[in-house]
Amino acid sequence: MKRAGIAILLCLSLCGCSWRDAGDLSPVTAGAITRDNGAYLLTAELAVPNPDSAVPQSITVTGAADSIAQAIDNAGAGRDAQLYWSHARVLLLGTDILRSGMRETIRALTVSSEVRPSVRLCAVKNAQADTVLTTCASVSGDPPGFALGDSIDLAVKQSQAPDMPLYRVLDRVESDGIDPVLPAVSIEGEQAVLDGAALFSGDVLCGWLDKAQTGVLCLLMQTGDRAAVYDTSTRYPLTGIDPVVRADASAFTVTITASLSCEDRTQAEQAAEALRVQCVQVIRTLQETGCDALGFGRTWAEQHSSSEIDWRTAPVTVRVTLRGTQSAEGGSR
């Protein structure tokens, strides 16, 4: 909890506050939202001032209502302090919301002045969303929601998780253009862990990707400034990633160029072929589920407004060019 306390303490100090005189504020570090018989159930992970320490305690509170705004108010009911959402790292959405369509929930969160538009959204897999915050153990002293925020930050930079803040999800849901892809979270033992990605067709959950497939999709989406390709047990780090998608009369062509740290040209060729195969497999999954996360459907519509060929059945060719650079550690770095 120490890093969470220090980070939030710093933010409050910049506003002229401290934990001992914060008064009517209880900072929220993470939230979880599910629906039951039409009502929203919202669970908030709070950082609460500790009178015996400069480091706050972590607790959870829950509120239920027919609207997001009222559920937020109800979660803070009975407390002396108002819930303060500007420090929330993640919002966890239950599969009950995702399977029925998350458009209404996303709109409600966006119009709520309580929730900042940059908070990242996650899909909870094989568990109730609230249990991630209420039953998972802390990580190095940090509450599960705050620690999960750290994990997502790192994973996005390494192209291992999609970067999906609230405002971007809303844009994709409302524009009917490129579909959203949310980081998936599951419970492993007593810890909340990243577990691939949730695919959407419009605003409705349509499939899942495992961790390896998610890394390939994030590389295609150019989520982070670096990535990696795996060939059996060997990991090849990539930088300078540049994926380009083109549509011709009857097919898509995806061209990927990147710089690769490796031992020799043979390794670069092996890594390029491994990445090509993996990209084809992930793209086929997108086509099969109808998740237009790469904008194939939109590109196809722009190029072929009168075509009878659906983007989900169009052939895809992937070309990979890796510029090999020598490294002291070699390709297995």
Read off the pLDDT of each residue in 243-248 and give the average, rounded to a whole number.
Answer: 86
Task: Say what the pLDDT of residue 332 is.
Answer: 33
Read off the pLDDT of each residue in 275-303 and give the average, rounded to a whole number.
Answer: 91
Q: What pTM value is reported for the model?
A: 0.86
pLDDT greater than 80 at residue 16: no
Read off the pLDDT of each residue in 278-302 and give the average, rounded to a whole number.
Answer: 92
**Six-digit token string for 67:** 């609207």
- Band (326; pLDDT cuts 50, 70, 90): low
Percentage of the residues of the chain whose pLDDT score is greater than 90: 53
Could you read off the pLDDT of 31-79 as tens digits, one per residue? 999 998 889 999 999 877 667 766 567 789 999 999 998 998 888 876 7
CA distances from 292 to 62, 136, 152, 295, 328 (A): 35, 33, 22, 5, 40
pLDDT greater than 90 at residue 207: yes
- C-alpha 197/C-alpha 182 separation (Å) is 6
Half-sphere exposure of 254 (CA within 13 A, CB side): 28
Q: Residue 215, SS3? A: helix
- More confident of the two residues 312 and 19: 312
Please give the helix or strand (H or E) that residue 213 lies within, else none: helix 211-221
Please give the helix or strand (H or E) that residue 130 lies within, else none: helix 129-134
Q: Residue 13, SS3? A: helix
Residue 311 phi, psi dihedral angles, 5° rounding: -60, -25
Could you read off the pLDDT of 171-196 as tens digits, one per residue? 999 986 799 999 999 999 888 999 99
- C-alpha 214/C-alpha 260 separation (Å) is 20
CA distances from 198 to 35, 326, 330, 331 (A): 18, 36, 34, 31
pLDDT greater than 90 at residue 167: yes
Cβ atoms 211, 159 nearer than 8 A: no
Residue 171 phi, psi dihedral angles, 5° rounding: -60, -40
Task: Say what the pLDDT of residue 55 is.
Answer: 59
